[in-house]
A and B are shown apart, each in its own frame.
Chain A
Amino acid sequence: MGRELIDAIVAMDDKKALQITQDLLDQGVAPNKILTDCQTAMEEVGSKFEKCEYFLPELIMSGEILKQITEIIKPELDSTTGNGKKKGKIVFGTVFGDIHDIGKDIVIFMLESNNFEVVDLGVDVPIEKFVESIKTEDPDILGMSGFLTKTFDAMKDTISGISEAGLRNNVKIMIGGGTVTEDIVDYAGADAFGETAMDAVTLAKAWMGGNKNE
C-alpha cells in the first residue's frame, strides 16, 4: 500500500482521502492498516505544525478527515482490532468556573491522535472530580485548561486539593489556555504549561519517556 492516503490527508484533500479510503476497503485492505496510515498522516501534520508550516485550521481539517474516515471504516472494525498500545493515560478537564471547551477539545483530539488514552472530564470541573479521577483512572498525566484569568486561582486550588489528597506525586500536571503564561506554572504548582495543542503532545511524549518523533 503506497502513501496515497497519507498524502491526501496531509494535503487536506478530504474528498480524495475519503475516496481512497473507500477504494482501499473495496480492495480488501485491512481497516487496521488504514488506521495506521491515518496515524502516520496525523504525525506528519503534527510535525508540520511544530515547524509552523501548518496551523490550527490544518489540525481541525485533518481531524475532520480522520473522523470521516473512521465513520467509513467503523463497520469493518471488530473488537479485536485496535491501533496499538497506548503511550499513556491522561485525564483532562477545564477547571471550575470556566466552561470554555474548544481549546481543551483540540488538545484532547491531538493527544488521542498521537495514541494517548484521554479521559475527558468536561468543563467547570470541581477539585473533587479531578482528585477522584486520579484515584479511579490512575492516569500518568493530568491536564487542566482554563481560558479566563480567574482560572489561575482555580488551577492553584485544584493542585492544592490534589496535594492534600496525597496524590500530587502520582501525576505530572500540564496547564494551558488563552491567558495562561509561564509564570502561572509556579503560581499554580503545575509541572509545565503548553501554548499550543502540539506543546501538549510534546510534553506528554517527553514525560512518558518516548522519542517525540515516535
Chain B
Amino acid sequence: MNEKYEQKRKRIDDTIALKKPDQVPIFLPQSYLPARTEGITLKEAHYDVDAWVRANKNFVLKYDPDMYFFIEAPINGAGQVHDILGTLAMKWPGGTLPDDVPFQFVEGEYMLQGEYDHFLDDPSDFLLRVFTPRVFKNLEGFSKLPPLKNLALGCYGTPVYGMAMAAPEVVESIERLMEMSKHALNFTVKSGQLYAELAAEGHICAANAPVLHPFDIISDMLRGMRGTMLDMFQVPDKLISAMEKLYPLSLGGAIGAAQATGNNQIFIPLHRGADGFMSPKQFEQFYWPYLKKLIEDLVNANLVPMPFFEGTYEQRIDYLQDLPAGKCIGWFDRSDLNLLKEKLGDIMCVAAGMPASLLQTGTVESVRKQTKEAVNTFEGKGFIMTSSTVIDEAKPELLQAWIDATREFSSQ
C-alpha cells in the first residue's frame, strides 16, 4: 500500500491500541451526504451506481478523512433490486418514496409470536416459505413451496418438489431472484472497484457491511420493536433460543465479509439494547451476553469490532469495561464524552464528538467549540473524531470547519 494509506493505518491502529497517535483520526461517516455535496438526487444514488460511486469518490478525495463509510450504507441494495423484489419492509427514493426522501425501514411483525416454534424447529424453512414472502411481495411464490424437510427424501422427494417448482408463482419468484441478482452483483462489483481505487489513493474504509446483534435481527427485521419487547415478558425462553439460532449468522457473516473484502474492521450497529429500550435487568439477560460474545469471538478471529452504540449507553457503561482492552472501536451517539473517557479510557478507543444536528444548524464557532471540547476531553489518545450518527445532511462550510478544527486542535 502507499505511504498515505500506511500513515492513516498507523494513526488508526495506534488509536485502537490506546497508544498516542500522531494526530486524532477523523472518521467521516458519510451516508447520503455525497449526493448533496456532489449534486445528485437520492433517487440517482439508489438507481445509478456509477453516479453514486462517483459522488462518493469525489467526496472522499475532497474531504480526505482518515476513515470513510461503506457506500452501501444508505442504499441497502440497488433500487432496481427492490423494484424487482417488490420490497415491503423498506421504502426508498425513486421507488416507493419521492425522489429526494431518504430511505426508511417499514418495521412490522413480519414474524408472529406464535411462529417462534416454527422458526426454532427449522429456521430456513420458516424464513424462506413464510417470512420472505411477507417482506418481498414478488417472492410470494415461495409460500407455495413444500416444507424444506421434504428434501431429506432425496430421490423419493423429487416428485413433490418437481410439481411444486412447476407452479407459475414459484417459477416467477425464482425468475425475480435471478433478475435482481444481476443488479446486486453490478453494485457490488462497482463498489468493490471504488474501495480498491480509494485505497490506492490512501483512503481507508471504516468497515464493509454491517453485522447485526441477534437481538437486533429479531427486533429490526422479524418481530419488530414492539413485538420483541412483548416477547421479553411473554416468551423469554423462545426469544433467547431464537438468538442462539441466529448467533452463528452474525459471527459467520462478519468473518465472511472480512475475508471477502480484506477489511478487518467489523461494523456492528446496535439498536435495541440502548438506555431506555430495555431495563438493566433485561440488558443483562437478553442483550449483553451476545454482545460480549460477539465482540470476543471477533477479537479472537483477529478482527476489529466497531460497535456503534446508538442512543445512549450510560446506564450500561460498566458492562463495557469487561470487553478486551485496546481491541475495539466504540462509536458512541449521545453518551456523555467525559463519562466515556472516565469509564472506557483504558478499554476501547472512542469514536464520538460531533452531534450530527450541529453540522446542519450550528455555526463555524459552535462547531469549532464542540470540536475543541471533544478533542481535549480525550487528551489526544484513544479518540477518533466522528459524528453522533451517519451524515445525510450538513452544511459544507461546517463540515470543513469541523475537519480543519480537528487537525488544528489535535496538534496542540
A52 to B229, CA, bound (A): 17
A19 to B102, CA, bound (A): 46
Shortest distance from the beta carbon of A195 to any chain B beta carbon, whole Å? 9
Cβ of A184: which chain B residues have Cβ within 8 Å of it?
357, 361
Instruction: Using known A-B contacts A55-B277, A56-B278, A179-B389, determine if residue A61 contacts B230 with beta carbons closer than 8 Å.
Output: yes
Cβ of B282: which chain A residues have Cβ within 8 Å of it?
55, 57
Q: Is the CB of A179 within 8 A of B356?
A: yes
Query: B279 interface residue, CB < 8 Å from A?
Result: yes
A150 to B91, CA, bound (A): 16
Instruction: Using known A-B contacts A57-B282, A99-B106, A179-B389, determine if residue A14 contacts B234 with beta carbons closer than 8 Å.
Output: yes
Q: Which of A54, A97, A147, A181 contacts B101 (CB 8 A)?
A: A97
Q: Is the CB of B279 within 8 A of A148?
A: no
Shortest distance from the beta carbon of A94 to any chain B beta carbon, whole Å? 10
Cβ of B389: which chain A residues have Cβ within 8 Å of it?
149, 179
Within 8 A of A (CB), among B362-392: 362, 388-389, 391-392
Q: Is the CB of B230 within 8 A of A64?
A: yes
A170 to B91, CA, bound (A): 35
Q: Is the CB of A57 within 8 A of B233?
A: yes
Shortest distance from the beta carbon of B94 to any chain A beta carbon, whole Å? 14
Contact with A along B144-184 (1 / 0, CB 8 A): 00000000000000000000000000000000000000000
Most buried by A among B234, B356, B360: B360
Within 8 A of B (CB), among A140-167: 147-150, 152
Shortest distance from the beta carbon of B400 to any chain A beta carbon, whole Å? 18
Shortest distance from the beta carbon of A197 to any chain B beta carbon, whole Å? 10
Shortest distance from the beta carbon of A58 to any chain B beta carbon, whole Å? 7
Query: A12 interface residue, CB < 8 Å from B?
Result: yes
Shortest distance from the beta carbon of A19 to any chain B beta carbon, whole Å? 15
Q: Is the CB of B279 within 8 A of A55?
A: yes
Cβ of A14: which chain B residues have Cβ within 8 Å of it?
233-234
Cβ of A99: which chain B residues have Cβ within 8 Å of it?
91, 97, 104, 106
Q: Is the CB of A12 within 8 A of B233?
A: yes
Shortest distance from the beta carbon of A38 to any chain B beta carbon, whole Å? 18
Closest Cβ neighbor of B226 among chain A residues: A60
Closest Cβ neighbor of B390 among chain A residues: A149
Query: B225 interface residue, CB < 8 Å from A?
Result: yes
Shortest distance from the beta carbon of B203 to any chain A beta carbon, whole Å? 24
Cβ of B230: which chain A residues have Cβ within 8 Å of it?
57, 60-61, 64
A180 to B355, CA, bound (A): 10
Contact with A along B328-372 (1 / 0, CB 8 A): 000000000000000000000000000111101110000000000
Shortest distance from the beta carbon of A56 to any chain B beta carbon, whole Å? 5
Q: Is the CB of B278 within 8 A of A57?
A: yes
Q: Is the CB of B357 within 8 A of A149?
A: yes
A12 to B229, CA, bound (A): 12
Instruction: Using known A-B contacts A55-B278, A99-B91, determine if residue A60 contacts B358 with beta carbons closer than 8 Å.
Output: no
Cβ of B278: which chain A residues have Cβ within 8 Å of it?
55-57
Cβ of B88: which chain A residues have Cβ within 8 Å of it?
none
Q: Is the CB of B355 within 8 A of A181?
A: yes
A97 to B101, CA, bound (A): 6
Q: Is the CB of A100 within 8 A of B104?
A: yes
Instruction: Using known A-B contacts A97-B101, A149-B360, determine if residue A57 contacts B232 with beta carbons closer than 8 Å.
Output: yes
Cβ of A26: which chain B residues have Cβ within 8 Å of it?
none
Cβ of B104: which chain A residues have Cβ within 8 Å of it?
98-100, 147-148
Within 8 A of B (CB), among A66-115: 97-100, 102
Most buried by B among A14, A52, A60: A60
Shortest distance from the beta carbon of A13 to any chain B beta carbon, whole Å? 9
Cβ of A55: which chain B residues have Cβ within 8 Å of it?
276-279, 282
Q: Is the CB of A181 within 8 A of B392?
A: no
Query: A133 interface residue, CB < 8 Å from B?
Result: no
A57 to B276, CA, bound (A): 8
A180 to B360, CA, bound (A): 12
Within 8 A of A (CB), among B195-242: 225-226, 229-230, 232-234
Cβ of B388: which chain A residues have Cβ within 8 Å of it?
179
Q: Is the CB of A179 within 8 A of B233?
A: no
Query: A207 interface residue, CB < 8 Å from B?
Result: no
A150 to B354, CA, bound (A): 17
Q: Is the CB of A152 within 8 A of B226?
A: no
Cβ of B234: which chain A residues have Cβ within 8 Å of it?
14
Closest Cβ neighbor of B231 among chain A residues: A57
A60 to B277, CA, bound (A): 10
A180 to B276, CA, bound (A): 16
Cβ of B97: which chain A residues have Cβ within 8 Å of it?
99
Q: Is the CB of A58 within 8 A of B392?
A: no
Q: Is the CB of B392 within 8 A of A54?
A: no
Q: Is the CB of B361 within 8 A of A152?
A: yes
Closest Cβ neighbor of B310 among chain A residues: A178
A100 to B278, CA, bound (A): 20
Instruction: Using known A-B contacts A61-B233, A97-B101, determine if residue A149 contacts B279 with beta carbons closer than 8 Å.
Output: no
Cβ of B315: which chain A residues have Cβ within 8 Å of it?
52
Q: Beyond A12-B233, A61-B230, A100-B104: 5 further Cβ-contacts under 8 Å?
A: A56-B229, A149-B356, A149-B393, A179-B388, A180-B357
Residues of A at the B interface (CB closer than 8 Å) are 12, 14, 52, 54-58, 60-61, 64, 97-100, 102, 147-150, 152, 179-181, 183-184, 187, 196
Which 3 A/B pairs are nearest by Cβ-Cβ distance? Answer: A57-B229, A60-B229, A187-B361
Q: List 13 A-B contacts (CB under 8 A).
A: A57-B230, A60-B229, A97-B101, A100-B104, A149-B356, A152-B357, A152-B361, A179-B356, A179-B357, A183-B357, A183-B361, A183-B362, A196-B276
